[in-house]
Amino acid sequence: MKIIKKKYILLVLFILTVLSVIYIYSLVKIDKSVPTQQTSPLPTMLVPFVQVNKLLGGSREIPFDNFAIEFSFSKEVDPQTIDIKIAPYIDFGVNYSKDKKTVFIYPSQRWEYKTKYSLELNVQSMTGDTLSNSIFYEFIPEKPINSTLDERKI
């Protein structure tokens, strides 16, 4: 009777082992009916073409009446695509930083104090990206009061 009992226990243990193996295999088994997703390399981060400096408009004391207005961008600008409108009209020049990410707009002569200027700027990047909107900037140059830069008697 002891032999039958041992055989019965061994048979039960064997069946439990087989069922455990089948259960574990079913947990880790990959379903072949569902296509696996192939991994692709991560895309490079796309940098949008935007203005990265924010200018404060309005009335500002300006020590020099020929100061340049600076617009910085996230990518190199294409000088061939720059479109600038200034009202009231004034002759102006344009310079660029060495990396071509910053545009400097300055008057050929000078900004008139106490005059409200409106500037509209449109430009594309060297890769052809465009701004989502034109840049509008308004300012009023004001002569500094009690400036150390006033003419001094020598």
Domain containing 79 — which CATH number? Answer: 2.60.40.1220
- Residue 150 inside a domain? The answer is no
Q: CA 119 → CA 14, 103, 130, 151, distances in Å?
A: 86, 13, 18, 31
User: Considering the domain boundaries, does residue 92 fall inside one?
Assistant: yes
Residue 138 in any domain: the answer is yes
The answer to whether the pTM exceeds 0.95 is no
pLDDT tens profile 70-109:
999 999 999 999 999 999 999 999 999 999 999 999 999 9
Q: Which range marks the domain in which residue 116 is found?
A: 58-142
User: How many domains in the chain?
Assistant: 1
Q: How far apart are CA 98 and CA 91, in angstroms?
A: 24
Q: What digits encode the pLDDT tens for the residues 27-36? A: 666 555 555 5
Q: Does any domain span residue 62? A: yes
Q: Give the pLDDT mean for 10-38.
A: 69
Residue 11 domain-assigned (yes or no): no
Contact 112, 86 (CB under 8 A): no
Q: Is residue 2 part of a domain?
A: no
